[in-house]
């Protein structure tokens, strides 16, 4: 199973240009069915093991209804570590961002339960105390995701918008960002994901996901990468302070984030 994880993915100049313009891209056949089945089972087992959400779905707030969220599974399983540290994924991330290499920021499983609600419009980097926009998230469905299951949606080129960056994932972000995007010419991309298709999006591009209207869990693994030379900035909100303490422990403001939780996983030749 490790073989495909470290095989380079053929990424065209056109694909890199598309990402640079739109700050997201969907790539087909990043993984094959056996690889996803094998690692999907391992990830699902760990989500079941570590999930502490006991509150019924109908009693949760919007964030709680959006997904079950389990972090840094790479530290809980050597095999999941192999998946998260995949040079195939990290090589794509580095090429799309045009960096000399990438580090792990953290990983997270995002399992949207059957009947789970929307994931409101947001930009991820609101939460991150990172000094540049050289950040990218690989969104890896562990099964085919039809429109009814709540695939990730993107507002192409919306990384140019400043308004809304100060909002956490919430009912407020869904309303205010949607209002802002409605008066722009940025394309709203809502598409299903084939089995093996993976999307990559930057920290400042706005995105959301619909509700899961099926009777199956939408199982997604994500890996967040940053430039291997990323510098920690002074946090601008409480969420960024918490992220510093949790995902970059020991890192110092103004210095490269080089901690045991943020290893370099790919260096360009």
CA dihedral (189, 194, 195, 196) positive or negative: negative
pLDDT in tens for each of the 269 residues of the chain?
788 999 999 999 999 999 999 999 999 999 999 999 999 999 999 999 999 888 988 899 998 888 899 999 999 999 999 999 999 999 999 999 999 999 999 999 999 999 999 999 999 999 999 999 999 999 999 999 999 999 999 999 999 999 999 999 999 999 999 999 988 889 999 999 999 999 999 999 999 999 999 999 999 999 999 999 999 999 999 999 999 999 999 999 999 999 999 999 999 97
Please report where in the chains the tokens 């899961």 appear, as a residue: 212
Residue 269 falls inside a structural domain:
no
Structure tokens at 108: 């997270």
* Residue 98 forms part of a structural domain: yes
Spatial separation of the C-alpha atoms in residues 133 and 131, rounded to whole Å: 7
Asked if residue 214 belongs to a domain, the reply is yes
Contact 102, 93 (CB under 8 A): yes
Q: Are 218 and 147 in contact (CB under 8 A)?
A: no
Report which of 85, 99, 95 is spatially closest to residue 11, judged by C-alpha positions.
Answer: 95
Single out the residue of 200, 201, 155 nearest to residue 179, CA to CA.
Answer: 155
Q: What single-letter DSSP state applies at residue 23?
A: S
Helices marked H in 163-206 — which ranges?
A: 171-182
Q: How far apart (Å, rounded) are the C-alpha atoms in residues 172 and 126? A: 14
268 domain-assigned = no
d(CA 213, CA 141): 16
Asked, for residue 267, whether it belongs to a domain, the answer is no
Per the domain annotation, does 95 fall within a domain?
yes
Residue whose tokens read 């429109």:
147
Residue 266 lies in a domain: no
CATH of the domain at 71: 2.60.120.620
Decide if 99 is inside a domain.
Answer: yes
Domain of 188? 2-261
Give how many domains the chain has, as a whole number: 1
State both tokens at 223: 């890996």
Residue with tokens 């090589």: 91
Q: Read off the tokens for 257.
A: 């984030």
What number of other Cβ atoms are within 10 A of residue 164's Cβ? 21
Strand partners for 75: none
């Amino acid at each position: 199973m490790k073989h495909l994880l470290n095989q380079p993915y053929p990424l065209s100049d056109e694909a890199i240009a598309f990402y640079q313009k739109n700050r997201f891209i969907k790539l087909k056949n990043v993984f094959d069915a056996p690889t996803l089945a094998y690692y999907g089972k391992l990830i699902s087992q760990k989500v079941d093991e570590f999930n502490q959400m006991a509150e019924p779905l109908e009693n949760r707030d919007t964030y709680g209804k959006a997904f079950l969220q389990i972090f840094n599974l790479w530290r809980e399983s050597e095999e999941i570590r192999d998946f998260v540290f995949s040079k195939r994924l990290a090589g794509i991330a580095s090429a799309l961002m045009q960096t000399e290499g990438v580090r792990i920021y953290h990983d997270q499983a995002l399992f949207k339960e059957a009947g789970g609600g929307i994931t409101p419009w947001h930009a991820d980097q609101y939460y991150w105390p990172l000094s540049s926009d050289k950040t990218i998230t690989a969104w890896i469905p562990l099964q085919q995701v039809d429109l009814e299951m709540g695939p990730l949606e993107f507002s192409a080129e919306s990384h140019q918008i400043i308004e809304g960056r100060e909002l956490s994932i919430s009912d407020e972000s869904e309303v205010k960002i949607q209002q802002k995007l409605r008066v722009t010419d940025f394309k709203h991309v809502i598409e299903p994901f084939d089995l093996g298709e993976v999307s990559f999006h930057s920290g400042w591009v706005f995105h959301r996901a619909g509700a899961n209207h099926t009777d199956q869990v939408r199982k997604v693994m994500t890996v967040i990468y940053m430039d291997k030379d990323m510098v920690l900035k002074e946090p601008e909100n409480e969420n960024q302070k918490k992220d510093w303490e949790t995902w970059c422990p020991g890192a110092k403001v103004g210095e490269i984030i080089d901690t045991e939780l943020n290893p370099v996983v790919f260096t360009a030749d």
